[in-house]
């Protein structure tokens, strides 16, 4: 048995594969070590606990699902960005069946603060990107945003709608796109 893992990313890649095939509850030190063909101690070189491994694996899945696309035009237009996000949610659901629902329920518990913090950081990254798109979109009519109705607040509202759609497994962005059109254009 190989006792040295070549990288932390290899462990996370193996963890993502386990999540894909068996669900994220299959990720633990022993199963990941076995799947990597390394000793349990090798995994502990990178992660000091099962919780740390699972948290990093979940963050890794979120990053894979919402990785920044090569084509930059997705982030120049609000409608294109929302459409892309819904496509990525659908991709995530296909690649990682049950991940979003189980992930949300499992990591929102108070006994998993690291996982909750990582999830919130990922969500904040998505929100920040969505807000930036809203601020750059040249199609948004002048005066659409005010001191009380800001791009940040609208991004938060759009993101809440997307999370709700995610939990319902509704990957049709048409309702959210209609809200954008009626509110901003």
Residue 121 has pLDDT above 60, yes or no: yes
CATH assignment, 8-58: 1.10.10.60
CA distance 23 to 101: 11
Computed over every residue of the chain, the mean pLDDT equals 87
**Residue 41, exposed/middle/buried by CB under 10 A (0-12, 13-18, 19+)?**
exposed
Q: Which residue ranges make up each domain of the chain? A: 8-58, 66-184
- pLDDT tens digits, 16-39: 999 999 987 889 999 999 999 999
Nearest partner of 82 among 9, 162, 21, judged by Cα? 162
pLDDT confidence tier of residue 122, bands split at 50, 70 and 90: confident
Is the distance from CB of 75 to CB of 81 less than 8 angstroms? yes
Q: Give me 67's structure tokens.
A: 């990785």
3-state secondary structure of 154: helix
Q: Report the sign of the C-alpha dihedral through residues 104, 122, 24, 48, in that order.
A: negative
pTM: 0.83
When pLDDT is cut at 50, 70 and 90, the band that residue 110 belongs to is very low
The pLDDT of residue 112: 58
pLDDT over 70 (residue 134): yes
Please give the span between the terminal C-alpha atoms of the chain, in angstroms, as a whole number. Answer: 61
pLDDT tens digits for range 55-107: 889 889 988 998 877 776 778 889 999 999 999 999 999 999 888 776 555 55
What is d(CA 43, CA 167) in angstroms, rounded to the nearest whole number?
A: 32
The number of beta carbons lying within 10 Å of the beta carbon of residue 118 is 19
pLDDT tier at 167, thresholds 50, 70, 90? confident
């Amino acid at each position: 048995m190989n006792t040295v893992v070549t990288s932390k990313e290899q462990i996370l890649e193996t963890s993502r594969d386990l999540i894909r095939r068996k669900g994220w509850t299959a990720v633990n030190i022993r199963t990941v070590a076995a799947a990597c063909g390394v000793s349990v101690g090798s995994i502990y070189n990178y992660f000091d606990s099962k919780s740390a491994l699972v948290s990093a694996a979940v963050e890794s899945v979120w990053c894979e699902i919402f990785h920044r696309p090569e084509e930059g035009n997705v982030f120049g237009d609000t409608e294109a960005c929302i459409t892309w996000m819904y496509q990525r949610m659908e991709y995530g659901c296909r690649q990682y069946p049950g991940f979003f629902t189980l992930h949300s329920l499992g990591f929102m518990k108070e006994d998993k603060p690291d996982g909750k913090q990582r999830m919130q950081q990922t969500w904040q990254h998505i929100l920040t990107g969505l807000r930036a798109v809203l601020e750059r979109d040249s199609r948004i009519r002048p005066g659409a945003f005010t001191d009380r109705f800001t791009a940040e607040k609208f991004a938060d509202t759009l993101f809440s709608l997307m999370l709700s759609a995610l939990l319902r497994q509704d990957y049709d962005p048409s309702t959210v796109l209609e809200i954008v059109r009626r509110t901003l254009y």
